[in-house]
């Protein structure tokens, strides 16, 4: 698990006069006609490509192996109805916190620095479905706890939407869309629609697992469009954005262990990874 000081990253971005920015109508409407107009931030602020069209956060599902390795167990609402995290520490004690996950960290930061969020922008939460969503096992349809898990997940989903977060598909099983067969993609997408979209609502955004895209005009690409997806995120080494009448293609930078250790130079316009890697992390 990569241990990083997320608050320090956000402060670094803030200090570079960058802000989150979003074209809400474009992302949330699901309309096929894609406007190239982007809201203009105040002149003293720079729009950072990290969060242009809202920055995606992959796999916010809290798989079982993550809980076993020190991650939080799920997102919850605190007594005031605000987003927080729930986990159990090594001593078996329940912990509710606001400083160990990107969403509550960002929410706390925006409270102190509202100018960081242009027009209330937050980010895109890309969800799979094979282990449920947001830490709730909504994939276990026959479980006696299913209704409870679903209802608690819905409360968190609704609060995230209220505060400006947007959802996207990351495929149901986190399968490489470029490598799998067409029929496998169809089954995967159908299950995501049934188990995840039924909870978060429709979304036009598809964030490719592994950042691995399919070819434009291929049967797979046409199928995803037919299922309501018109904004597609891949991963690439350099900024890329293509807008036409029916869809948007965009590459995003991967801010992960590989980038932190081996591609530091690609992140320097936002922050220096040497300054934000947790010093407690072993070198190997």
The two tokens of residue 42 are: 């105040």
pLDDT by residue (tens digit) across 42-71?
454 443 433 333 457 888 889 888 877 778
CA dist 260 and 245 (Å) reads 36
pLDDT by residue (tens digit) across 234-275?
987 777 899 988 999 998 877 767 767 777 777 777 777 777
> Do 188 and 180 contact (CB within 8 A), yes or no?
yes
Average pLDDT, the chain: 81
> Do 230 and 247 contact (CB within 8 A), yes or no?
yes
Q: Note every long-range contact of 33-37, with CB atoms under 8 Å and residues 24 or more positions apart, other chains counting.
A: 33/245, 34/230, 34/243, 34/244, 34/245, 34/246, 34/247, 34/248, 36/243
pLDDT > 70 in the chain, percent: 78
Cβ neighbours around 243 below 10 Å, total: 14
What is the average pLDDT across 1-15?
40
pLDDT by residue (tens digit) across 68-104?
777 899 999 999 999 999 999 888 899 999 998 989 9
Q: How far is CA 102 from CA 4, 49, 97, 179, in A?
A: 11, 18, 11, 30
Beta strand 248-252 with 231-235: parallel, antiparallel or unpaired? parallel
Residue ranges of domains in the chain = 6-20+40-276
CA dist 220 and 213 (Å) reads 10
pLDDT by residue (tens digit) across 162-180?
999 999 999 999 999 999 9
Cβ neighbours around 13 below 10 Å, total: 21
* The overall pTM is greater than 0.75: yes
* Angle 140-142-143 from CA coordinates, rounded to 5°: 65
Residue found under tokens 């094979």:
130
Nearest to 104, CA basis, from 127, 125, 132? 125
């Amino acid at each position: 698990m990569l241990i990083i000081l997320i608050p320090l990253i956000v402060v670094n971005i803030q200090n570079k006069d960058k802000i989150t920015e979003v074209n809400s109508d474009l992302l949330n409407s699901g309309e096929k006609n894609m406007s190239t107009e982007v809201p203009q931030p105040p002149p003293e602020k720079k729009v950072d490509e990290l969060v242009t069209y809202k920055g995606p956060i992959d796999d916010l599902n809290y798989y079982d192996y993550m809980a076993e390795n020190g991650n939080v167990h799920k997102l919850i609402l605190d007594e005031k109805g605000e987003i927080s995290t729930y986990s159990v520490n090594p001593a078996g004690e329940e912990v509710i916190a606001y400083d160990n996950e990107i969403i509550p960290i960002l929410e706390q930061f925006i409270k102190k620095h509202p100018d960081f969020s242009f027009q209330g922008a937050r980010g895109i939460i890309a969800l799979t479905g094979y282990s449920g969503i947001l830490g709730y096992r909504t994939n276990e349809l026959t479980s006696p706890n299913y209704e409870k898990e679903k209802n608690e997940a819905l409360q968190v989903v609704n609060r995230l939407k209220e505060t400006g977060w947007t959802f996207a598909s990351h495929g149901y099983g986190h399968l490489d869309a470029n490598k799998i067969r067409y029929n496998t993609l169809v089954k995967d997408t159908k299950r995501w629609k049934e188990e995840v979209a039924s909870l978060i609502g429709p979304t036009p955004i598809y964030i490719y697992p592994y950042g691995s895209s399919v070819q434009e005009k291929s049967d797979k690409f046409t199928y995803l469009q037919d299922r309501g997806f018109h904004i597609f995120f891949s991963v690439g080494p350099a900024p890329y954005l293509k807008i036409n009448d029916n869809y948007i293609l965009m590459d995003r930078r991967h801010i992960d262990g590989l980038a932190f250790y081996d591609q530091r130079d690609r992140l320097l316009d936002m922050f220096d990874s040497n300054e934000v890697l947790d010093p407690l992390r072993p070198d190997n």
